[in-house]
Each structure stands twice: as C-alpha cells, then as structure tokens.
Amino acid sequence: MIQPWPALLLCLLLGYVGVHPAVQADVERAAVRQIPLRSHSLSSPFLDSDMQSRYFEFGEDTIVRADQYIRLTSDRQAQSGWLFSRMPMTATNWMMEIEFKIHGLGHLHGDGMAIWLTEERAKPGKVFGHTDNFNGLGIFIDTYKNSRPGVVFPYVMAMLGNSSVSYDQDHDGKDNEMAGCSARGIRGTDTVPKKIRMTYYQDTSLKVELQYKAENEWTECFETEAFKLPQTAYLGFSAHTGELTDNHDIISVNSYNLHMRQNTGSSRSSDRGSKAQAKPYNPGGDKERGSWRWFLLKIVLFAIVVVGGYVGYTMYRASNRGSRF
Ligand SMILES: *[C@@H]1O[C@H](CO)[C@@H](O)[C@H](O)[C@H]1NC(C)=O
C-alpha cells in the first residue's frame, strides 16, 4: 500500500530541489555590483587647486592639460612619460574603462603606450616608458611594427611578467604574449572615442574589449585564462617615442570594484577570491531572498518531523495490533 505521507514528503523535497536552481540563477544575475573606485579613476580637470592629484602621480615628459588630457608623450622624438596610482589596487575583481587618444602629424607613428598593474610604480624604462622585468600585468597598445611578420598593427597584447622575464623588444613582444589582437583604427582623431575596457576576475579571466569602430560598439580583443596579480599592484600608464612620434593622451579612467554578493550561502567559485574582503554594504534584497530559502527549509524540516511522527505512530499501532492477535 502506498502511504500518502511519504509521497507528500517526496513532493515537498522535489519542490525544494526544483525551486533551488531558479533561486540560484536569480542570485547569479544580481551577484556582481560595480562600486566606483575613486582611488583608481581620473577625469578632467585631473588636478586639484594645488596642481596635484590626490590619487595619481606623473613624471618624465608627462604633461597635464586640465581641461583635456594627460599627455604621456608629445608628438616629438625620444619622449617618455608615466602616470601611476599612488595606492595599490585592492579590489580582487575589477573593471576599468580607459579613454585615450593616440595621434600625431607624421606619416609614421610610434611607439605606443601601455597600461600597467605592476608591483613597480613610477619606474621609467624601455618597455613603453616603464621598467623591464616588471612583476605583474602589462597591456600594450603597440602602434609601430618592428618585426612581427603577418601581424596587422596597431596591435594590442597582454604580457604577464614575473620579475625575471624581459620584454621581447626585437619581435614586438611575441615571446611574451599571453593574448592579443589587431586593432586597425585604434589610433587617430576621428569622431569615435577610443576606449579599452578590461574586466578582471581573479578566479576566471581577464577580458579586454576595445571601442574604436563606432561609439558604444565594443569589439572583444581577447579573454585570458585565470591568473593572479601581485599582492601589491599599482595602476599605471606609460608611453614612449623614439625616432617615430605620437601624442599619447589619457582622457579618462573609470575603475570599478566588482563585488560578489556573499550572503547567498552558495559556494560558487567566484566567491572565493573576495572572501577576505570587507563585507559590502548590504541593501535589503538579499536578506529577503535568504530568509525565504530558510523559510522553505523550515517547512521541509517540519514535514520530516510530522512524517516521522506519523510513521512512528503507525508502526507502534501496527505492532500493538500484531501482539493482540
Ligand atoms: C618567469 O616566467 C618565465 C617564463 O614564463 C619562466 O621561464 C620562469 O621560470 C619564471 N620565473 C620565476 C621566478 O617564476
């Protein structure tokens, strides 16, 4: 004979299991919050009243036009400039959007600029104006092809340094390339604002997208495997010119901490990296979702107790009846 109570229990359990993934997907969608990182963002007028920047420092040939840009190199030979955050990046997962402009009057242009997340800061050198044998990440926007047959320039590439590898200057970084793409049209002064967007999840990947074909049209450049940045990594920008020249301008930098919501009780891998961080401020929505699941769990537990009691009671009566016969 089929007992009605166990069947009901099964239904309840299936109901819980069935609902669960839907709840999970909902949490997934709402899981990432973008929190602006002022310490790693920049926009006009760049400087405060003391002609200083609270969060950034610059040097060598870098000049600031408060209403327009920070110019890492001017359109002249043998220039080298840098711009670095004063504070290291503290976000485990982050997103950055950088608007820049690379332009000049000559027929041949160079050499390009770089975006850095390195242990070293404000250390001029020969890799697009920053030091070689760096520890951390370099993203190069290389505008002049020295020697890379079959590759269209400008070329955007990522290199991960560990203090002991040198930049492969002779082959435009071919030996160091973690990932890269050609981006014909990324330099110049046409009406499309040139932007690079980097999205980094420590446990997942770094994705680099470019805007240069049309406004609000993002072209994926590459997505890497997961990798870790140095514990202390500063955000920087640098550029240099040699015989060939260009202006390399930073127009704006917008950085965001990508915060995983942590109070869902799940063990998604993306949560691991951010465990050590301070709890984000927590609007009511999550608590509601959490308490709702807890409520469901309590119903199931209650059902188990009731069913257990009923089964026990039935067995007790059956055995009593048995003993009477
Ligand atoms: C640094 O990276 C290079 C190339 O990937 C590797 O050969 C070398 O062993 C690494 N050095 C250290 C100290 O990890």
What pLDDT score was predicted for residue 109? Answer: 94
Residue nearest to atom 9 of ligand 1 (CA): 164
Determine whether the shortest distance from the Cβ of 166 to ligand 1 is under 6 A.
no
Average pLDDT rounded to a whole number, residues 276-281:
41
Residue nearest to atom 6 of ligand 1 (CA): 165
**143: Cβ contacts below 8 Å, ≥ 6 apart:** 102, 109, 110, 111, 112, 153, 154, 186, 187, 246
N residues, the chain: 325
Q: What is the largest CA-CA distance in the chain?
A: 109
Mutate to test the pocket of ligand 1, among 162, 174, 176, 224 (most ligand atoms within 8 A of CB): 162
Answer yes or no: is pLDDT of 23 > 70: no
Distance from C-alpha of 158 to C-alpha of 95, rounded to nearest angstrom: 16
What pLDDT score was predicted for residue 177? Answer: 97
Answer yes or no: is pLDDT of 21 > 90: no
Q: How many CA atoms lie within 13 A of 318 on its CB side?
A: 6
Residue nearest to atom 1 of ligand 1 (CA): 162
User: Which position has the higher pLDDT, 295 or 140?
Assistant: 140
Mutate to test the pocket of ligand 1, among 134, 164, 174, 176 (most ligand atoms within 8 A of CB): 164
Average pLDDT rounded to a whole number, residues 55-59:
97
The CA 126 to ligand 1 mean position distance, Å, reads 20
pTM of the model: 0.74
Contact 142, 112 (CB under 8 A): yes
* 200: helix, strand or coil: strand
The CA 199 to ligand 1 mean position distance, Å, reads 25
* 46: helix, strand or coil: coil
Average pLDDT rounded to a whole number, residues 227-242:
97
Residue nearest to atom 14 of ligand 1 (CA): 162
Determine whether the shortest distance from the Cβ of 162 to ligand 1 is under 6 A.
yes
Q: What pairing do the DSSP bridges indicate for beta strands 112-118 and 234-240?
A: antiparallel
What pLDDT score was predicted for residue 247? Answer: 98
Distance from C-alpha of 22 to C-alpha of 7, rounded to nearest angstrom: 23
The CA 162 to ligand 1 mean position distance, Å, reads 6
The CA 272 to ligand 1 mean position distance, Å, reads 26
Answer yes or no: is pLDDT of 285 > 50: no
Determine whether the shortest distance from the Cβ of 165 to ligand 1 is under 6 A.
yes
Determine whether the shortest distance from the Cβ of 164 to ligand 1 is under 6 A.
yes
Distance from C-alpha of 153 to C-alpha of 111, rounded to nearest angstrom: 11
